[in-house]
Amino acid sequence: MVLMHGLMEKNECCRGLVQRLVMAATAGVGVIQLSLSLLVVMFFLRDSIVVEGKNTPAVKSFETEYGDIYDCIDIYKQPAFDHPALKNHTIQMEPTSYPQGMSKESSSTTEVLDLGLPDGGCPKGTVPIRRIRKADVMIGKPPKRHFANATLNGPKPMLYQPPGRSHAIARTLPGEYYGTEVYMNVWNPKVDHGVDMFSLAQTWITAGSGYEVNTIEVGWLVSYSRNHDVITKMFVYWTTDGYRSTGCYNTDCPGYVQLNERIPVDYRLDHHTSTYNGQQYDVKINLFKDTRSGHWYLFRDLLPIGYWPSDVFDKLDTKADLVTWGGEVYYDVDICRRLTGSIYCPYPEMGSGHFPAEGYGKAAYMKELQVIDNKNMQYNPAKDCELINDRPDCFRITQNQKGVQVLPANHILFGGPGGYCRW
């Protein structure tokens, strides 16, 4: 009853419906009927109610054309500082050192630099944090939660994957790594609105294995269930226990520290996606460990975006064991079963939706792959990489493909059309 009165106060348009629900409750209407009716009310209010305790008063706010709201929050009041390990953390605006050999060139498509909030972004001393709505919570677990997969993090990956997820990736051999640099081609693969699914391209670093794995992941994502649209958006993700209970996307939970005042960590790329046999866009990603503080810094096109303090991790606090690049796709098997009676549904596209054999301008790529060693030097890991491709009838990956003149020697081409895939 208290919840219903709260809804009346927050939204005038549903006042009458809520009043009728209150009267029905007083009259003894069945619990099931009331619950269903209340769900209807919550559905209509899902975009107008923010989550208690999840949103801090904003100095300034921006609303995008797609309805996302970014609040300019005091940099020391952002979600990161709710993490128990960061209560007394002092923000480090810049790393104390940079990897030797780190490229000073931004992406080849400098139009990407135009992305960010208008009017110069947030005021100094504040950072943009996407406002969390009821819809974001009601949608259920974020899709990455379903991706907990120890087989990709061990020294000998299994090529078999159960229905619902697939990968086409290049991965270093187990070793000692302190970061990566990559130019990541940007596309907008087709993803169904009706089933909980995603398609992404990313680089990620890991330490540990199984349920003890620590990971930091950076890339672009298309997911209606996550973003309430099918626009290509940048994202980050992290976990310290193999995706079980720690970690999250972007700034959805404490841990990641946002630094950039103008560019949110989950900014959209809808006007900067590649076209088949046409204009190509890529974004440069640098993810590296500061040699003094141990923090993991994220740079995009030479601009600092944010970092993960070393205190957040129990494995990545020292180094990474593996570095990976490539694509992932996923669909929710349980939803598929409810809708179709089967656990087999069509996978979304990966990358451009075309196979690597079609080459540059038609297939998705990542180029100039670099890793960082224990001397803080960047180098080409091409000789120490293995390719993992679990459903080659739907998705494929090649490394340093011959005949691709416009890409440097250390590159991968990956992706495919998806659809119904064999085991």
Tokens of 338: 């409810």
Tokens of 415: 């992706």
- Report how far residue 85's alpha carbon sits from residue 279's, in angstroms, rounded to the nearest whole number: 45
- Report how far residue 188's alpha carbon sits from residue 200's, in angstroms, rounded to the nearest whole number: 9
Closest C-alpha to 273, from 324, 201, 225, 203: 201
Angle at 163 between CA 352 and CA 401, to 5 degrees: 35
Which of 181, 328, 349, 368 is the catalytic position? 328
Q: Is the dihedral of CA 307, 311, 315, 321 positive or negative?
A: positive
Q: Is 358 in the active site?
A: no
Q: Is 328 in the active site?
A: yes
Q: Tally the C-alpha atoms within 13 A of residue 389's C-alpha that lie toward its C-beta.
A: 18
Strand (E) or helix (H) holding 21:
helix 15-27
Q: Answer whether 216's CB lies under 8 Å from 241's CB.
A: no
- Report how far residue 321's alpha carbon sits from residue 171's, in angstroms, rounded to the nearest whole number: 11
Tokens of 373: 């060693």
Which of 181, 217, 261, 368 is the catalytic position? 217
Supply the Cα-derived Rg of the chain in whole angstroms: 22
What lies within 8 Å, CB to CB, of 399 at 6+ separation is 170, 382, 385, 387, 411, 412
Helix (H, G, I), strand (E, B) or coil at 271: coil
Q: Tally the C-alpha atoms within 13 A of residue 304's C-alpha that lie toward its C-beta.
A: 20
Tokens of 50: 């923010």
Closest C-alpha to 201, from 184, 215, 216, 214: 184
Catalytic residues, which ones? 217, 328
